[in-house]
Amino acid sequence: MIEELLRKRLIFVTGKGGVGKSTIAAALGSLGARRGLKVLLVEVDGKGDVGSMLGLTETSFTPKRAAENLWVMEMDTEAALAEYLRIYVKVPFISKFPGLGKIFDFVSTAAPGVREILVIGKLCYEVRQNTYDLIVVDPPASGHVISQLGVAGDVGQLIQLGLVKNQTEWMLEILADPERSVALLVATPEETPIEEALDLAGRLRAETPVHLEGAVVNRRFVGPMASVETEVVDVIRTFGDSIAGLNEVLAASDLFERICDRHDRNLRLFIDQLGPSLRVATVGEYFGTLEAQELLDEVAEVLEVELW
């Protein structure tokens, strides 16, 4: 049931670029907000896709209200560093320090993982503060999310002392708790995206503490036609040469059937390779022109039925 998923505190919507993970993240956040949850949508890569889909002209590190119960935030690692120093190191007015950007660039270059730990740290901090009922994250595509989700454990192993050790311990507790933090995988039903999604699923399980909860196969062509429809098409074929353009229409119908068959095969492969313990939801391809909010509403309705 969707209620089970929405009881989580932190959901990472992962996948390769171009599969619609931003749309799924925005629809999932909108669904949670409509059910009365206070939701924060976080876009990590800074493209602004999530905010624009929800009607915001711009987003920033300070959350902006997009709808009732729904806020959108754009991750900013320099701002996250300033917030961290203000909260944990007790440095007041640090965000106004003119050299902070240069210091941050130097530190993040000299110490790989700093940017990632700030991103994950900010998300876990919001979970711990209980400011929101649900945080839905649209992270960078594919492999980049692995470095972010795995960084707390990596840093914790490298630095076993002081403030850093204490910080990574509570972050790992949140990330590794499947009742609080999960990943939701998004793919499209084509061969390459399915292969990359399966690879990402393996890496999520092997290299990060975050539990893989399930997957969404997006933009699926649904078919084939019912038997009575097939019979009608067979009759229509007899008029192909006598009606201008009819053969082209029939060829398009045949192509659609082949795409549906291919999507079905790839979906079965994906489900089989992921394993029986994971639920896989499907969202169909939407033809024609829909406004962004209309599309999100349509996808949210499908997720409400399909997910858990």
- The domain limits of the chain are 2-223+265-306
Buried b (16+ CB within 10 A) or exposed e, 278-291: ebbbbbeeeeeeee
pLDDT at 157 exceeding the cut of 60: no
Arithmetic mean of pLDDT over the chain: 82
DSSP conformation letters of 240-265:
TTTSTTHHHHHHHHHHHHHHHHHHHH
Task: Classify residue 118 as exposed, middle or buried by CB count within 10 Å of its CB (0-12, 13-18, 19+).
Answer: buried
Do the Cβ atoms of 61 and 73 come closer than 8 Å?
yes
In CATH terms, the superfamily for domain 2-223+265-306 is P-loop containing nucleotide triphosphate hydrolases (3.40.50.300)
Number of CB atoms found within 10 A of residue 89's CB = 9
Residue 294 scores a pLDDT above 50: yes
List CB contacts of 233: < 8 A, sequence separation 6 or more: 225, 250, 253
Q: Is the pLDDT of residue 154 over 70?
A: no
94 pLDDT tier (thresholds 50, 70, 90): very low
pLDDT for 104 beyond 60: no
Q: What are the φ and ψ backbone dihedral angles of 177, each rounded to 5 degrees?
A: -90, 110
Taking alpha carbons only, the member of 32, 29, 27 closest to residue 3 is 32
List 136's β-bridge partners, or say none.
11, 41
